[in-house]
């Protein structure tokens, strides 16, 4: 369900609405005129606007963090909602679809000034650009300072950018399952994903709207990504070398006729599921935004950069994460001013544990962060 209203209207809970924030000058030199941001809110903003929390979504996430006035389940129910650590009975919670996305904010599939989709003409948008856009929406909502900004994976990188770009507007910052910059290995995995899409015969340089979408390329990109989201131990324990019944990896006289292993079927499912809900150009745009993640760019070394923020930090990692290693969270915490602990989510699943097992941090968030 979607509703278009003026941002000053007191919103219902968990309903998508839209705000126009004007033109946006971009860090890499591009420009987007008349940018729209899709967002959802939960709870009530208090009289002095001191109870607002921004929750940032990850790469292919939406604005729908938790249930509201609909029955649709959110993607971080353990974290936010009535009585949850981010208690929507206490806080005014906001989630914004990132610029470049495909859940209502201006992105490659949006109409350009000539009326045609942006497609191949969509500019590079960095996480700093997305922060600048979100700051304008915060202004429209009457929020001059966030009680907290938090997120996991790309959402954590976005939260960190908020604390450094607008230090006077962020009182608390939670950075979960991400480091201060994307590493060479993370960029390499990301490039393989974007290349899978670009090499799809239907990609057409990004101008595929109105024709066949590059579904095979997008599904392959998701397969590559999902391998990094799950741990080797989790894949082995769930699937091992088991065949996908009634198929057999050893049936057929030629390679093309063989059956699949269960893990192959699982990756096929993950790829095909994303194709049904996400735009390939947005996948490229947001992946490249995450590739650009480097809080030190133009700011100095890590310690100098982090000293810009006066926020109280909460840093957490998943112990089995092989995409954003726990060591990156430790490096971030050690460079922050003061003593900052790294809270550990114990989950054999891998990187996705920041979503599925965030409940493990509920006590720490309540006692040491959201106070």
- Secondary structure class of 111 (helix, strand, coil): strand
Please tell me the distance from the alpha carbon of residue 60 to that of residue 279, in angstroms, as a whole number. 10
- Return the structure tokens found at 139: 């202004």
Please tell me the distance from the alpha carbon of residue 190 to that of residue 127, in angstroms, as a whole number. 15
What is the dihedral angle through the alpha carbons of 217, 219, 222, 224, rounded to the nearest 10 degrees?
A: -70
The pair phi, psi for residue 15, each rounded to 5°, is -115, 130
Does 222 belong to an annotated binding site?
Answer: yes
Please tell me the distance from the alpha carbon of residue 296 to that of residue 156, in angstroms, as a whole number. 15
| Inter-residue contact 219 to 271 (CB < 8 Å) | yes
Over the range 69-84, which residues count as b (16 or more CB within 10 Å of their CB) and which as e?
eeeeebbbebbbbeeb
Please tell me the distance from the alpha carbon of residue 279 to that of residue 129, in angstroms, as a whole number. 20
* Residues linked to residue 111 through DSSP beta bridges, in sequence order: 117
Short-list 258, 267, 229, 247, CA closest to 354: 229
Please tell me the distance from the alpha carbon of residue 2 to that of residue 104, in angstroms, as a whole number. 9
- The residues, ordered by sequence, that sit 6+ positions from 38 with a Cβ below 8 Å of its Cβ are 16, 17, 18, 63, 96, 97, 101, 103, 104, 105
Please tell me the distance from the alpha carbon of residue 48 to that of residue 51, in angstroms, as a whole number. 8
Give the sign of the dihedral formed by CA 260, CA 263, CA 267, CA 269.
Answer: positive
The verdict on whether omega for the bond into residue 246 sits within 30 degrees of 0, i.e. cis, is yes
- The residues, ordered by sequence, that sit 6+ positions from 133 with a Cβ below 8 Å of its Cβ are 21, 24, 35, 37, 99
- Return the structure tokens found at 76: 């971080």
Q: Point out the residues that are catalytic.
A: 153, 321, 351
Residue 342, number of CB atoms within 10 A of its CB = 16
Binding region for substrate: 222, 352
């Amino acid at each position: 369900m979607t509703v278009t209203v003026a941002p000053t209207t007191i919103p219902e809970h968990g309903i998508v609405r839209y705000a126009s924030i004007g033109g946006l000058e971009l860090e890499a030199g591009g420009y987007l005129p008349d940018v729209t941001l899709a967002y959802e809110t939960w709870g009530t903003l208090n009289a002095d606007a001191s109870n607002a929390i921004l929750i940032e979504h990850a790469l292919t996430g939406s604005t729908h963090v938790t249930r509201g006035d609909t029955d649709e389940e959110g993607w971080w129910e353990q974290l936010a909602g009535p009585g949850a650590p981010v208690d929507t009975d206490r806080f005014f919670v906001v989630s914004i679809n990132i610029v470049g996305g495909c859940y209502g904010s201006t992105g490659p599939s949006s109409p350009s000034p000539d009326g045609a989709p942006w497609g191949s003409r969509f500019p590079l948008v960095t996480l700093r650009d997305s922060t600048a856009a979100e700051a304008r929406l915060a202004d429209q909502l009457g929020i001059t300072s966030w009680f907290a900004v938090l997120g996991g994976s790309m959402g954590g990188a976005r939260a960190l950018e908020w604390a450094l770009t607008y230090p006077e507007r962020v009182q608390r910052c939670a950075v979960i399952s991400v480091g201060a910059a994307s590493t060479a290995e993370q960029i390499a995995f990301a490039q393989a994903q974007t290349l899978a899409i670009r090499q799809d015969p239907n990609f057409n340089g990004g101008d595929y709207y109105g024709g066949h979408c590059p579904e095979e390329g997008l599904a392959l990109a998701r397969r590559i990504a999902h391998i990094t989201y799950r741990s080797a131990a989790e894949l082995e324990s769930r699937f091992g070398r088991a065949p996908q019944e009634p198929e057999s990896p050893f049936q057929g006289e030629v390679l093309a006729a063989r059956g699949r292993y269960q893990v192959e079927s699982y990756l096929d499912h993950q790829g095909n599921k994303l194709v049904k809900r996400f735009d390939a150009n947005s996948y490229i745009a947001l992946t490249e935004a995450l590739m650009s993640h480097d809080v030190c760019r133009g700011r100095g070394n890590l310690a100098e950069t982090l000293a810009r923020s006066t926020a109280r930090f909460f840093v957490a990692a998943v112990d089995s994460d092989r995409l954003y290693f726990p060591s990156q969270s430790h490096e971030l915490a050690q460079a922050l001013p003061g003593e900052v602990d790294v809270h550990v989510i114990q989950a054999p699943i891998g990187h996705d544990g920041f979503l599925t097992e965030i409940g493990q941090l509920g006590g720490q968030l309540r006692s040491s962060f959201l106070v």
